Structure 1
Amino acid sequence: MAKDELAHPPVEELRVGPILSALADAKRRRVVAELAERPDEERLCASFELTVSKSSRTRHWRVLREAGLVYQRDAGNGLYIRLRKADLDRRFPGLIEAVVAAD
């Protein structure tokens, strides 16, 4: 892994506990729900309306990434994020749909 590359757990290492912990936060659930609307699209992290400090936003992105819910890419001029929909569906079929529908 390159020095500036972000760490993402491999699909076979995804665990439901960290995923559910990440989704326990309403702001993170909203981000996942927005990403689930267009699961194949990547979004600029700054495009989400989160009324929190920059350090809190950074923490939210890290929690989602480390749980395996999202893939993040640093493009130098911005950080991009997308839902790991295919990986999540393979490991936990229907989980994202259930979480989005329940909120």
Structure 2
Amino acid sequence: MQQATPSTDLPHPDADEIQLGAVLFALSDPARLEIVAQLRDGPIEMARCHLNDPDVPKSTKSHLMKVLREAGVIRNVAQGRGRILSLRREELEQRFPGLLDAVLNARG
């Protein structure tokens, strides 16, 4: 796993460390899947990422992001005072061809 630098970077698994079970688990939750769908068209600021339920606590949203990041589904990097979220599409496609599009296209 790529190690984080002191204060702003978070650890992300290397592409060859991404495990199918962890990805499937991360994509199995509707709220996490909603986040991934928002990232489908490109990176966004974490502050602009929203969930259908506006009453979701900030701590819950952070946990959702952590599960996705640790599974290797998203990249979460510091940019200025905020954070930028991006989908690790190329790495996921290389590891599990067609999986991400199949899951996103099947979502209701």
- Give the TM-score, by structure 1 length: 0.91
Q: Which runs of 5+ in 2 are unaligned?
A: none
Q: Counterparts of 2:79 and 2:49 in 1: how far apart (Å)?
A: 17
For structure 1, the 5+ residue unaligned runs are none
Q: For 2:36 and 2:104, how far apart are their aligned partners in 1?
A: 8
Partner of 1:45: 46
User: Which one has the bigger helix percentage?
Assistant: 1
Q: CA RMSD in A?
A: 1.1
Offset at 1:65? Answer: 0.2
% identity of equivalent residues = 37
Match of residue 92 from structure 1: 96
State how many pairs are aligned.
100
Structure 1 runs (4+) deviating above 4 angstroms are none
**Normalised TM-score (structure 2):** 0.87
Deviations 1:11-57 (A, max 9, x none): 00000111111111101111111211x1xx32111112223101001
Say which structure, 1 or 2, has more relative contact order (CA 8 Å, 6+ apart): 1
